Amino acid sequence: MRVAKVIVDVSTSQTNHTFDYLIPESWENIVQKGMRVSVPFGPRKVMGFVLEVSDHSEFDKLKPLDEVMDLTPVLTEELLQIGKWISEQTVSFYIQTFQAMLPQILKAKYKKEIEVLTDVEIAEELQQLFAGRAVMDFEEFVERNGNYSLLLKEVKNGHVQINYIVKSKETNKTKVFIAPNKEPYLLEEALEDTSNRAKKQKRILEYFLEQTTPIEQKQLITELSTTTATINQLVERNLLKKIEKKVYRDPFQDTDFERSKSLPLSGQQQTAIKPIWQAIEEKQDEVFLLHGVTGSGKTEVYLQAIERVLDKGMEAIVLVPEIALTPQMVQRFKSRFGSQVAVLHSALSAGEKFDEWTKIHKKEVNVVVGARSAIFAPFENIGIIIIDEEHETSYKQDEQPRYHAREVAKKRGNYHHCPVVLGSATPMLESYARAKKGVYHLLEMPDRMNEGEMPPVEIVDMRDELYAGNRTMFSRNLLEAIKTRIEKKEQIVLFLNRRGYSTFVMCRECGDVMKCPACDIALTYHKSSHQLKCHYCDYQIAMVKECQACNSKTIRYFGTGTQKVEEALREHIPEAKVIRMDVDTTRRKGSHKKLLEKFGNKEANILLGTQMIAKGLDFENVTLVGVLAVDAMLHLPDFRSSEKTFQLLTQVSGRAGRHKLPGEVIIQTYTPEHYSIQLASQYHYQQFFHQEMQTRRGFRYPPYYFLTLINVSHPNQLKAQEVTKTICKLLFKHLSDEATILGPTPSPIVRINNRYRYQCMVKYKDEPNQREIIRKIQEHYYDDIHRNDLTIQVDFEPYSLM
DNA sequence: AGCACGCCGACT
DNA sequence: GTCGGCGTGCTC
């Protein structure tokens, strides 16, 4: 007897363990751990992952597996182990983690259908729906308002049965090819038999007399200017045949990659790469922190480390933050390693992601470049893992399982005995502290390539501008600088951390601010659509003409978003051509790439954008970077706001003067004296590190302490508060005296989508029982969560405190 | 999750 | 007395 231990696709604590199923004899040699199966679960069928295959079970009445969904395992032994570990670390359900490790498309799709079993008359009403068919989709039954209780009666009678079907969403893209189906002489005969009126058919037959190799239908149609109808007639006459071929969707098919070779390494690059090479050779699972200023040539170090790995016949994973995964970065990897590279990031369609994943799974590639989830690439012989821009927040998943790619990377490095390289110009405080302690191996690259200097940074105090009577959003210096660059035909990058037009809309008469009815937040005005939008839920209304509270017409826009800046630029510098890049202009697939290409081709002078333009961009003609306002970010209720500001300013500054032309940076702010801004402007990472560490120590924040954030939400404010209070009490009771428990506190945004949000924060050094306690708390609230619309989110080492 | 089982109020 | 309401608990 062979038994499969299966985690089923039902996401609750009650089913968060394996269920045993009998493997039918005929499949005994087929079913392996890591495969997806379809199993009967109660009255229905669900998808599940085989975690183990064994020869006995504690249960006596086992049901057999229903179906095996994969030919080869989709999760390796290693990934199964890591999946269990992540689930435990993040207090998630196993199924959630395994799902997160695979491309979306491999998730199961569920379908119900109704089947008539007997020739016996079934109820008239049902017969009409079936209209003579034996099977019908349950969906159709619902759509056509079928009588459900009547159906159940017939099910009880045994006349009708409900089938549960588990399908994979997986689809392979196919292309249709046309090929001759007869010997040439037979085609020639057919040609003569064809009526002279059927000119197009004759033309096609003639083509295949000369050309016997299959041709893609699309191409045939354009070449002979014909239609599918004509081809189909020939196919029907059995003269031609259609062949369906599976093809990979190639997201980069229109892009040419010029092959590049290794560049000679500078002195500091050599010093940095040697220990990495050594770790590769000696199969050491060492973690390196590569601290290199922007433009110091980190990417070349990555590339040559990977070359060494590939020479040894091993594989490499490279993680890049979501937004920095610009075509530029992909370009560099593709041009160095060609078709050995698979790319996985959010701009790909689900189908494209699946195809890229398949290449990895089939070992057709040995390098993966991708965002967070690419850390789960199913390689089995990894020689190096690289995480670029290590401090980026996108490496932490913001839904369950809330894992951090860096921690998974270290775990995988352990397993494969290979180095992990964390690269950044502004490492996270936690990482740099670990490097200083010797937990990570610190590699420093303090100089820019080719003796380039970091561009000088000028800080403009916007309060002075106001005193001087300048009420625009551009300081005189910035405006002047923009104008000179445009004259010199150089390019400009302008950064603003806020999309939309204005941050809030207020009535001047009564001071009423337009707020979202479902969230505790002001609405943002979007000028292009002339709407007020909530950035936290999908609420949007047409812009109001008069104040809702006092009916006055004196409504004013406050705060500045990218749309407003774009408009102001047109007004102040009519000759400027501006490209705006934010979530609103890059929502469509491929638009991100298109906008950047346009800017690269110098079709615009100014690139204006939010966060997404801060990283990875490298345009040689950019000589001025302007930061319009950093103050909003600096004053967020987040202990990392100083660090985030420092990182952002450093990253943005790095966009200027990366090549021959000298660069310049102008930062506008209302708090020029702040140490984040001061030190960023002088590129003093070390000094910033020391100063910020002191603050963190004082407030008992990371890296001195670990944090756990528990977020509770409920439609009723009192309920949310009360539950949070109880959770705080329970934690206080069960955690050690060393832990600090803060709360219950209202979240920075108390209400989102009509749900009230409260939180509890734990600061601790070592609490081995913490996860177990939290699991128990969640189980204690099982009923409230399932039937009473309560949610309890737990985030270990959170990035966002909102 | 989704469904069956089972225990209390309004009906032919 | 029965139908059906929803609270409770199980699914290998």
Distance A1 CA to C2 C1' (A): 48
Laid out side by side, the sheet with A420-424 consists of A341-344, A367-370, A315-319, A382-387, A420-424, A287-292, A441-445
Place of tokens 């679960």: A41
Evaluate if the CB of A147 falls below 7 Å from strand C.
no
Strand C contact nucleotides, protein CB < 7 Å: 4, 8, 10-12
**Cβ atoms within 10 Å of A222's Cβ, excluding its own:** 10
- A418 is known to lie in a ligand binding site: no
User: What pLDDT was estimated at residue A217?
Assistant: 87
**Cβ atoms within 10 Å of A82's Cβ, excluding its own:** 22
Most confident range, picked from A138-152, A551-565, A777-791 = A777-791
The pairing of strands A622-627 and A664-669 is: parallel
Most confident range, picked from A35-44, A151-160, A436-445, A532-541 = A436-445
User: What pLDDT was estimated at residue A86?
Assistant: 98
User: What pLDDT was estimated at residue A755?
Assistant: 93
Evaluate if the CB of A40 falls below 7 Å from strand C.
yes
- A537 is known to lie in a ligand binding site: yes
DSSP codes, A534-572? -SSSS-EEEPPSS-TTT--S-EEEES--HHHHHHHHHHH
User: What pLDDT was estimated at residue A151?
Assistant: 82
Tens digits of per-residue pLDDT, A631-687? 888 888 899 999 999 999 998 888 887 777 888 999 999 999 999 999 999 999 999
A790 versus A329: the higher-pLDDT residue is: A790
Residue A547 has pLDDT above 70, yes or no: yes
Residue A202 has pLDDT above 60, yes or no: yes
DSSP codes, A393-420? GGGB-SSSS--BHHHHHHHHHHHHT--E
* A191 class by beta-carbon count within 10 Å (0-12 exposed, 13-18 middle, 19+ buried): middle
Residue A239 has pLDDT above 90, yes or no: no
With cut-offs at 50, 70 and 90, classify the pLDDT of residue A736: very high
> A310: closest CA among A328, A342, A337, A346?
A337
User: What pLDDT was estimated at residue A474?
Assistant: 92
Who contacts A748 (Cβ-Cβ below 8 Å, separation ≥6)?
Answer: A637, A801, A802
Distance A111 CA to B2 C1' (A): 14
Of all nucleotides, the one whose C1′ comes closest to residue A786's CA is: B1
Place of tokens 């099910």: A155
A418 versus A253: the higher-pLDDT residue is: A418
DSSP alpha helix (H) spans, A259-321: 267-282, 298-311
The phi and psi torsions of A437 (rounded to 5 degrees) equal -80, -10
Distance A15 CA to B6 C1' (A): 23
Distance A148 CA to C5 C1' (A): 17
Distance A163 CA to B12 C1' (A): 35
Of all nucleotides, the one whose C1′ comes closest to residue A13's CA is: B1
Measure the CA–CA gap between A157 and A148, rounded to whole angstroms. 14
Q: Is it true that the peptide bond before A744 is cis, omega within 30 degrees of 0? A: yes
User: What pLDDT was estimated at residue A323?
Assistant: 60
Query: Residues for chain A: how many in total?
Result: 802
Strand B contact nucleotides, protein CB < 7 Å: 1-4
Tell me the sheet residues that pair with A44: A41
Tell me the sheet residues that pair with A525: A502, A532
Least trusted range by pLDDT, from A278-292, A405-419, A592-606, A754-768: A592-606
Residue A737 has pLDDT above 70, yes or no: yes
Rg (CA), chain A: 31
Q: Yes or no: say if A797 and A706 are a contact pair by the CB < 8 Å rule.
A: yes
Q: Mean pLDDT across chain A, nearest whole number?
A: 90
Residue type, A539: Y
**Left (φ > 0), alpha (ψ -120 to 50) or beta: where does A739 sit?**
beta
The domains located in chain A, with CATH, are 3-73 (3.40.1440.60), 110-166 (no CATH), 267-450 (3.40.50.300), 457-503+559-695 (3.40.50.300), 706-795 (3.30.70.600)
> A277: closest CA among A368, A379, A375, A384?
A384
Residue whose Cα is closest to the C1' of C6: A787
- A550 is known to lie in a ligand binding site: yes
User: What pLDDT was estimated at residue A477?
Assistant: 94
> A693: closest CA among A321, A392, A427?
A427
> A306: closest CA among A317, A295, A298?
A317
Distance A150 CA to C3 C1' (A): 15
Residue whose Cα is closest to the C1' of C11: A42
Residue type, A794: V
Residue A97 has pLDDT above 90, yes or no: yes
Q: Yes or no: say if A286 and A439 are a contact pair by the CB < 8 Å rule.
A: no
Residue A552 has pLDDT above 70, yes or no: yes
User: What pLDDT was estimated at residue A43?
Assistant: 86
- A507 is known to lie in a ligand binding site: yes
Q: What is the arithmetic mean of pLDDT over A274-297?
A: 95
Residue A358 has pLDDT above 90, yes or no: yes
User: What pLDDT was estimated at residue A305?
Assistant: 98
Least trusted range by pLDDT, from A369-383, A609-623, A682-696, A701-715: A609-623
User: What pLDDT was estimated at residue A148?
Assistant: 78
Query: What is the value of pTM for the model shown?
Result: 0.89
Least trusted range by pLDDT, from A66-70, A491-495, A635-639, A692-696: A635-639
Please give the structure tokens belonging to residue A270. Answer: 């050599």
- Residues near strand B (C-beta below 7 A) are A 10-12, 14-15, 41-44, 110, 112, 786
**What share of chain A in percent tops pLDDT 90?**
57
Q: What is the arithmetic mean of pLDDT over A558-571?
A: 86
Residue A110 has pLDDT above 90, yes or no: no
Distance A151 CA to B4 C1' (A): 17
CA dihedral for A481, A487, A492, A496, sign (positive or negative): positive
Measure the CA–CA gap between A561 and A502, rounded to whole angstroms. 5
Tens digits of per-residue pLDDT, A599-631? 889 999 999 988 877 776 778 889 999 999 888
Residue A324 has pLDDT above 60, yes or no: no
Who contacts A632 (Cβ-Cβ below 8 Å, separation ≥6)?
Answer: A497, A498, A503
Residue A585 has pLDDT above 70, yes or no: yes
Q: Which of residues 696-725 of A touch strand C (CB under 7 A)?
A: none
Evaluate if the CB of A148 falls below 7 Å from strand C.
no
User: What pLDDT was estimated at residue A326?
Assistant: 65
**What share of chain A in percent tops pLDDT 70?**
99
Residue A734 has pLDDT above 60, yes or no: yes
User: What pLDDT was estimated at residue A439?
Assistant: 98
Evaluate if the CB of A15 falls below 7 Å from strand C.
yes
Measure the CA–CA gap between A745 and A773, rounded to whole angstroms. 20
Evaluate if the CB of A63 falls below 7 Å from strand C.
yes
Distance A60 CA to B6 C1' (A): 26
Of all nucleotides, the one whose C1′ comes closest to residue A3's CA is: C12
Residue A417 has pLDDT above 60, yes or no: yes
Query: CA torsion angle for A258, A264, A267, A272 (degrees, to 10)?
Result: 60
Of all nucleotides, the one whose C1′ comes closest to residue A162's CA is: B3
With cut-offs at 50, 70 and 90, classify the pLDDT of residue A362: very high
Who contacts A284 (Cβ-Cβ below 8 Å, separation ≥6)?
Answer: A278, A417, A418, A419
Please give the structure tokens belonging to residue A276. Answer: 């990495």
With cut-offs at 50, 70 and 90, classify the pLDDT of residue A291: very high
Measure the CA–CA gap between A526 and A505, rounded to whole angstroms. 11
Q: Yes or no: say if A111 and A137 are a contact pair by the CB < 8 Å rule.
A: yes
Distance A153 CA to C4 C1' (A): 15
Place of tokens 């913490």: A770
User: What pLDDT was estimated at residue A325?
Assistant: 57
